[in-house]
């Protein structure tokens, strides 16, 4: 399992990635930058990765980090149910509710920790 640092505006979280193929693709694409978007208690952003469904789940617990295939997006959940099934790729370390401070349009950087 590998650790990743995600900077979203002024907020920084560390994520532990799992051993899935989708997580490997995301890691190979690092570092990359994007723009944060909010949907309820979820932050998501575009990635340079294109992957299909991999053990996709329709419900995930708070703190889950997942890839949404239709939008090529990485999603960080802190209370929201996914819009549609997502590939779980990891977990936010610590309290995921800090993500409530992320705003639409915040700059995002994803890199190895």
Residue-wise pLDDT tens digits, 70-92? 999 999 999 989 999 999 999 99
Could you read off the pLDDT of 31-74 as tens digits, one per residue?
Answer: 999 999 999 999 999 999 999 999 999 999 999 999 999 999 99
The whole model's pTM is what?
0.96
Long-range contacts of 16-19 (CB under 8 A, 24+ apart): 16/90, 16/91, 16/93, 17/65, 17/89, 17/90, 18/88, 18/89, 18/90
- Structural domain total, the chain: 1
CATH number at residue 102: 2.40.100.20
Q: Give the domain range for residue 73.
A: 2-112
Pick the residue with more confidence: 1 or 39? 39
Confidence of residue 1 (pLDDT cuts 50, 70, 90): low
Rounded to whole angstroms, how far apart are CA atoms 53 and 102? 27
């Amino acid at each position: 399992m590998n650790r990743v640092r995600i900077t979203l505006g002024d907020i920084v979280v560390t994520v532990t990635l799992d051993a899935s193929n989708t997580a490997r693709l995301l890691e190979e694409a690092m570092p990359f930058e994007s723009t944060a978007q909010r949907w309820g208690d979820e932050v998501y952003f575009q990635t340079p990765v294109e992957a299909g469904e991999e053990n996709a789940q329709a419900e995930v617990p708070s703190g889950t980090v997942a890839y949404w295939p239709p939008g090529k997006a990485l999603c960080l959940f802190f209370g929201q149910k996914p819009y549609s099934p997502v590939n779980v790729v990891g977990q936010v370390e610590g309290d995921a509710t800090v993500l409530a401070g992320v705003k639409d349009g915040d700059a995002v950087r994803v890199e190895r920790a």
